[in-house]
Amino acid sequence: MTDLWVVLSLISAFSLATSDALAKRALQENNDYLVAWFRLIFTLPLLLVVMFFVPLPDLDSDFYKAFIIALPLEIITVILYIKALKLSPLSLTLPFLSLTPFFLILNSYLILGEEVSFLGGTGILLIVFGSYVLNISEIGNGLLEPLKAIRKEKGSLLMIGVALLYSFTSSFGKMAIEHSSPLFFGISYFIALNIVFAPIAILMGKKDLGSFLRDRKFKRLVIPGFFYALMVLTHMMAMKLTKVAYMISVKRVSLLIGLLYGYLFFREENIRSRFVGALLMFIGFLMVVNAK
């Protein structure tokens, strides 16, 4: 029988990819800050219902410290993430989330002096090579063109920034979970994220807010918000049942689901080479997170 954490991780992966694809559809006609905000708002109904069944854990100073440090970084990732989805194809943005373990290992080496194992180093090379293959269609203009294409694609650059920030927020998130509980942290974190992000979204989207509400454009974010909340809950429950590295490895199936959505919903081009590139990055990710 399949372990429950595997099922939960796959649900989390599917939920994230589905939420991203539907949010990208809404981004085609609406302000990106308002789309990001209302996707967060529509996570609240499900999260608040579940919150009633979550015991209040004993909280210490380490929990609050990790929470407060992670929250502003999370706000930046929300902005960069939604802009990446708006500016570039899913097949050229989501795969770069696989760079997170690369940044984690780099940070560990610079800060702690930890060295990378052979398996981890091989995984990093696969991730880098996979990012090259994503733009292999440009190779006719020169060997360096696939790499230059990353620089030209603003969404890809923004998602690389997201991957870098995730390497920090994941560390602080783990600390907060260890000093509370997975579900309590996940739900309280997203409630706080809603509160803090609201004035930013209102300020940056004030010109479009009137028509966004009057024409009920926000209704397009109800389903993305639900799937985003489902992603949060299943993510946290899966983390409680297994090692974080194993759970994240399975969840990164969302990259491949995202590519499929990019083809089905948006008819993105060069999908075969991008799928190969994303698959290489995914395999590299698995090697890195399981490296000893």
pLDDT at 111: 43
| Angstrom distance (rounded) from CA 105 to CA 124 | 9
State the helix-helix crossing angle for 222-241 and 4-27, rounded to 10 degrees. Answer: 150
pTM: 0.83
CA distance readout (Å), 102 to 129, 153, 155, 169, 210: 13, 21, 19, 15, 42
Whether the CB-CB separation of 26 and 34 falls below 8 Å is answered with no
Whether the CB-CB separation of 135 and 276 falls below 8 Å is answered with no
| Angstrom distance (rounded) from CA 252 to CA 10 | 9
Whether the CB-CB separation of 19 and 39 falls below 8 Å is answered with yes
Q: Which two tokens stand for residue 116?
A: 């990378």
DSSP H or E segment with residue 213: helix 206-214
Task: Return per-residue pLDDT of the chain as tens, 292 residues.
Answer: 457 888 898 899 899 999 999 999 999 889 999 999 999 999 999 999 999 999 999 999 999 998 999 999 999 999 999 999 998 888 778 778 777 767 766 655 554 355 667 776 777 677 767 766 766 665 555 555 555 666 777 888 898 899 889 888 877 887 888 899 989 999 999 999 999 999 999 999 999 999 999 999 999 999 999 999 999 999 888 877 776 666 766 777 787 788 888 888 888 777 777 788 778 878 877 776 666 5
Q: Report the candidate in 106, 155, 112 with the shortest Cα–Cα distance to residue 135.
A: 155
| Angstrom distance (rounded) from CA 240 to CA 238 | 5
DSSP secondary structure code for residue 281 in this structure = H
Question: Using only C-alpha atoms, what is the Rg of the chain?
Answer: 19
Q: Which two tokens stand for residue 4?
A: 């429950």
Report the residue count for the chain: 292
Q: What are phi and psi of 252, to 5 degrees?
A: -70, 0
| Angstrom distance (rounded) from CA 189 to CA 168 | 15
Whether the CB-CB separation of 194 and 41 falls below 8 Å is answered with yes
Helices (H), the chain: 4-27, 32-41, 44-51, 61-87, 100-112, 118-133, 145-152, 154-178, 182-204, 206-214, 222-241, 244-251, 253-266, 271-289
Whether the CB-CB separation of 252 and 282 falls below 8 Å is answered with yes
Q: Which two tokens stand for residue 244?
A: 């974080």
Tens of pLDDT along 60-92? 999 999 899 999 999 999 999 999 999 888 877
